[in-house]
Structure 1
Amino acid sequence: MHLTMTNADANKFRFYRIEIVRGLFGDWGLVRNWGRIGSSGQLRTAWFDTESEAKDARFDLHMQKTRRGYE
């Protein structure tokens, strides 16, 4: 999932990527990558025991970002 927020008046050009990946030991990771458009940005992975937990976390994060103005 790729979200962006652009506001030229406020000089805001940001991106947010969310991806679910399977780990080596049967766990699931929620990979988040965010920053200014054109940069590599920050990267963080949160690990979960089940795929459904990771999907729930992705949905919560997606809703949080859309409330903040990401599309």
Structure 2
Amino acid sequence: MPSQQREPVHLRRIDPARNMRRFYCLIVQPTLFGGASLIRDWGRIGTRGQTMMETFDCPADATNALVRIERTKKRRGYRETIAGAE
């Protein structure tokens, strides 16, 4: 069960045959009251996309949610973004 602070997760799913160019970003940030927020950004690459924020009482719960969502996205074809590669 991961409980340490994680780096932001940046995922992409690109399929030229289906004209699909999507991104998905996940980050855990601390709140003022000792909890943590999981911030999710997603959309088509080149657009602003959408944002959702979930707040958790325990930072470990937010990290567990991040890991669960990351695993689900990777199963659906999203891959890690390599730093510096465009």
TM-score category (smaller protein): over 0.9
> Quick one: distance in 2 between partners of 1:38 and 1:3?
14
RMSD, aligned α-carbons: 0.5
CA distance in 2: counterparts of 1:68 and 1:2, whole angstroms: 15
1:14-60 residue CA offsets vs partner (Å, 9 max, x unmatched): 00000000112222000000000001100000000111100100000
Whole-Å Cα distance in 2 between the matches of residues 48 and 11 of structure 1? 36
Q: Map 1:32-51 to 2 at 5 A.
A: 32-51=40-59
% identity of equivalent residues = 38
Q: TM-score, normalised by structure 2?
A: 0.81
Separation in structure 2 between the aligned mates of residue 20 and residue 11 of structure 1, nearest angstrom: 30
TM-score normalised by length of structure 1: 0.97
Higher strand share: 1
Structure with higher RCO (Cα < 8 A, 6+ apart): 2
| Distance in 2 of aligned mates of 1:41 and 1:23 | 23
How far apart in 1 are the matches of 2:33 and 2:46?
34
Deviation of the 1:66 alpha carbon:
0.3
Count the aligned residue pairs: 71
Q: 2:46 & 2:31 partners in 1: Cα distance?
A: 28
Name 1:31's counterpart in structure 2: 39
Poorly superposed stretches of 4+, deviation over 4 Å: none
